[in-house]
Each structure stands twice: as structure tokens, then as C-alpha cells.
Amino acid sequence: ELAFLDGDYQKAQSHLDGLEDGQVGKSVGRLRRLIAGTMAATRGFASKRSAKGHFEIFYQPGKDEVIVDIAADALDKAYEVFGRDLGVKPKGPIRVELLTKPADLAKVSTLTEKDIRTTGTIALCKYNKLMAVTPRATLFGYAWLDTLAHEYVHYLVSTATRDRVPVWLHEGLARFQQNRWRDPKLGKLSGTDEYLLASALKSGDLISFDAMHPSMAKLPSQQAAALAYAEVYTLVRYVHGKAGYKGIRQALNLIRTGADSRAALTQVVGSGRWRKVEGGWKQHLRASKLSMDPGLAGRARHGRIHFDDGNKGEDNVGTKELSNAKAKKYARLGGMLRARGMLEAAAVEYEKALAITGKSNLLVAAKLSRTYIGLRKYQRAIELAEPLLAADDNDAAPATTLGIAYHKSGEPKKAARAFEVALRINPFDPSVRCGLADSYAQVGAKSLEKREREACRRLSASR
């Protein structure tokens, strides 16, 4: 087991030779299967050390090479920022595995493929390492850099507390911290998260913290998982608002020395009883004016991670999120027309759908804005895409649209900023990498241009 935790899978397997699966309470068999699955999922992987030496990234040679340096740089930044915030800077290098498909996450853990697809689980921190599925395995990408940072927070919390923190607090801390590596400001809820929380508060259907055990990946849907993450994030945000990072570090130290997690948080908040902490958090939520925009309902129901199962009908992916039958009909027709290159006609149908759903509908507005890019109506595309990105900066579609529109409009600095947002979500889109290369060239960022030009070349050649 120690060899496995050290990442020496061959040695770990050899140590089990001659032992029966049923020995040591059947743990030999479980460990043997885990080692075999991990070896299969990582066979042929190459590795690269991060520039500051804190992380060792393992990946499949080929397309994933274009994201390794970016991942390493983000994690090195997280090491410094999170270390200051949480008071933990572990000795490295920390092992990171970029897996090629969702099924591999089941091979290297105790999760099932059903768990992974049901909740949209895409990464784990377990067995002394970070594991994440490459965004190449999804249709539209996902917030992969923040996700790696999220898993690193789990690593730090486990280290700081000797693994004594319950799932709900683990996930709350990770969700609260995950974007601090790139933005010193504290994160915010997406519009979808706000909708989920507001709806659950209104109906009394918040997920209890105990129901989140043993894993968010065991919840019944992506919607349930998203709600649970939003709950625990806002709880930690509430605690931070009362006690700051000093209080969070104090709570972790209390837990490390044996205190119950609820008791530790109660002590640092100074509420006297856990019930008062929980009540104060819920009161804070109710006073936060959370959005109940119906345009967010579809995404809340269906989740945001779409695994790539070979479905090439991307122009109509997501239309099932629309609840209005007429809007759905117009949007689907727009998608079919767009797929046939009939952009003027597609824009007309998308405009009809948008007139019904309202401009806040993320799906229709995103598809329409991208259609206007094809029609070279860049200002109209910007008008539609800017509020979408402001509402959710983890959506690659409006970010990419804005990058293209600003680039075509001769605004390279704005284009680079927009493409950089898209990069941390959908780094295998050639339009993102090529657009970044051109934008960096125009603003004189030579080293970044070189990196992006190579990624552009490789991704364009493999299409």
C-alpha cells in the first residue's frame, strides 16, 4: 500500500505476489484490483515536473501535451496562494494524473462509471495524488484548472487535519478556495448556483450536510451535486466572513487535535452552538437576493458537463434544457440551419427563441452570438455574449465568442483576456489557442505567443 501511495505501481503489485485476495479482510483483493486499474489507466504516460518543483504531472503523450505546462503553472500558483491562506505547504513533488476518459476515473478509484456520469464527477484527490479527466473528454470542456486547484485544496485539508474533515466541510473549503490561484478576490456564485439555492430555500429542499456523505459523487444527479456544492461553499464563505482565514486555520488546527468539525466552526465563529451557525448561514442566504431567473432552470436541471460520447450534433446539444416548447422548436431549427451553413436563417430562428426565453437564457443567447460571429456582425455578438460571461465566467462559449469578436474588431487586449477565460475551460478548441496566439502576438507577449502558436499548430493538424 505504501508503494502504491508513492506512485510506484509496479512495486506495489509485486508486493502482493503470493498473497490471496481474501487475506487481510479481503483488502488484498481490493488493493490488487485498484493497482491493476491504475496501471491500465496510466499505461504509457509521460511526466513533467512543474517549474517550481511542487508538482509532477503525468499525462498521455499526444494532444494532452498542450495543457501540461498550463496545469503545472496554475498548480504552482495555487501552492503559494493556498499555502498562505490555509497555512500548509507540503513537500513535493505532488503527483497529478491527467486521465484520458471518465471511465478511467472509475478504474483508479472506488467510484463507478454510473457515479461519475450521474453527478458529473470529473476529478478526485485520493491515494496521495490529484486525478482529473482531461477536458478533451468533454464536448465543451469544463473548469479544469479551477478543478485541479479544487483537488489540491482537498490535499491540503487532508494534510492539515490528518484526514479528519467530513465531506461537506472538505468540499466547502475546496469550492471556496478553488479560484484564488488566479484571482485574489473571493469567488462568487454563478447564476445557476444562485437559482439552485434560491429554489431549495423556497421549497425547503436543501441537502443536509450528512446526506453528502460519503461523497458528492454518490448524490443522485448533477443538479443535486451542484446544489450541495453551492450550499457548502456559501457556508464556508459565511464562516470566513465572520472569522477570516485566521479563523479557518484555527478551525483546521482544532479538528487536527480531535475537535468535531461543527464544534470547531462554532468556536471560531463565536456563536455558542452549531444550530446558531447553521441558522445564521441560512439567514445570510435569504438576505443575499439570490437570482430566481427562470432562464437558468434548464442548466440547473441538466448539469453543465457533457461527456464526449462521439455525439457530433453539437449545434443542438443542450436544447433539451429549454422548457418552452416553441422556444425549443425554434432553437433546434436554428441549430439545424446553422449546421447546414445557413447562418442568416439560423439567426432568425434563434432570435425567435430568444424573444420567448429572454436575453438571460444562456443557451439561446450563446448560440445566437456565435452565429453572429459567422455573419461578421461582431458588435451584436459582443452585446449578447458580454452579459453571459459576466453571469458565469466558467462558460467557454461566450468567452470564445468574445475573443473572436474582439480580435476581429481590432481589440487584441480584450481578445486575449476573453480567450484566457476560454483556455481554462476548453483548451482543446483550436479557435481558442489560435486566437490567443494572434492576440499575444499583437500585444507583444512573445513567450506566451510561442506556447499558443505550437498548441494551435498541433490542434489544427489533428482535426
Based on the domain organization, do 262 and 223 belong to the same domain?
yes
Residue 330 lies in a domain: yes
245 with 208, same domain: the answer is yes
Task: Report d(CA 67, CA 248) in Å as an integer.
Answer: 33
Q: Is 109 helix (H, G, I), strand (E, B) or coil?
A: coil
Domain assignment of residue 359, yes or no: yes
Count of domains forming the chain:
3
Looking at residue 178, what is its pLDDT?
96
Domain boundary among 375, 393, 414: 375
Give the integer Cα–Cα distance in Å for 97 and 59.
6
- Which of 127-136, 173-182, 291-300, 370-379 shows the lowest mean pLDDT across its residues? 291-300
The three three-digit cell numbers of residue 100, written as one number: 484520458
The residue behind cell 453539437 is 314
In a domain, 59, yes or no: yes
Q: Is the pLDDT of residue 69 over 60?
A: yes
* pLDDT beyond 70 at 360: no
Q: Are residues 399 and 359 in the same domain?
A: no
Pair 388, 368 in one domain:
no
Q: Tell me the mean pLDDT in the region 177-188.
A: 89
The CATH code of the domain that includes 142 is 1.10.390.10
pLDDT at 292 over 90: no
pLDDT beyond 60 at 73: yes
- Domain hosting 111: range is 42-286
DSSP 235-296: HHHHHHHHHHHHHHHHHHHHHHTT--HHHHHHHHHT-SSHHHHHHHHHHHHHTT-----GGG
| Domain identity same for 140 and 240 | yes
For residue 14, tell me if it sits in a domain.
no
Q: Does residue 95 form part of some domain?
A: yes
Residue that finishes a domain, picked among 359, 375, 391? 375
Q: pLDDT grade, residue 249 (50/70/90)?
A: very high
Please indicate whether residue 158 or residue 392 has the higher confidence score (pLDDT): 158
Residues 104 and 246 occupy one common structural domain: yes
Query: CA quadruple 59, 62, 68, 69: dihedral positive or negative?
Result: positive
Q: For the chain, what percent of residues have pLDDT higher than 90?
A: 79
Query: Mean pLDDT, the chain, as a whole number?
Result: 93
pTM value is 0.93
Confidence of residue 189 (pLDDT cuts 50, 70, 90): confident
Q: Which of 441, 427, 435 is nearest to 141 (CA)?
A: 427
Task: Examine residue 173 and state whether it is found in any structural domain, yes or no.
Answer: yes
What local confidence, expressed as pLDDT, does residue 406 receive? 99
Regarding whether 394 and 328 lie in a shared domain, the answer is no
Per-residue pLDDT reduced to its tens digit, 297-328: 555 554 567 777 665 545 666 666 777 899 99
Residue with cell 512573445: 446
Shared domain check, 136 and 82: yes
159 or 301, greater pLDDT: 159
Are residues 54 and 186 located together in one domain of the fold? yes
Residue 212 one-letter amino acid: M
Q: Please state, in angstroms and rounded to a whole number, the distance separating the CA atoms of residues 134 and 142.
A: 9
Q: How much is the pLDDT for 235? A: 98
What mean pLDDT do residues 378-406 have? 94
Q: Take residue 205 and report the three cell numbers written for it.
A: 429542499
Tell me the backbone φ, ψ of residue 229, rounded to 5 degrees. Answer: -60, -40
Please indicate, yes or no, if residue 27 is contained in any of the structural domains. no
At residue 41, the 3 state secondary structure works out as helix
- Mean pLDDT of the 138-144 span: 93
- Grid coordinates representing 112 are 463507478
Residues 58 and 136 in one domain: yes
Least confident of 158-162, 176-180, 190-194, 295-299: 295-299
Together in a domain, 371 and 384? no
Specify if 101 maps to a domain.
Answer: yes
Among 340, 357, 375, the domain boundary falls at: 375
Interval 97-131: pLDDT, tens = 999 999 999 999 989 888 888 888 999 999 999 99
Identify the band that residue 451 occupies on the pLDDT scale cut at 50, 70 and 90.
very high
Q: Are residues 266 and 151 in the same domain?
A: yes
d(CA 456, CA 165): 43
* Residue with cell string 439545424: 336
Band of the pLDDT at 363, cuts 50, 70, 90?
confident
CATH number reported for the structural domain that contains residue 398 in this entry: 1.25.40.10
Q: Among 39-43, 114-118, 151-155, 300-304, which stretch is predicted with the lowest mean pLDDT?
A: 300-304
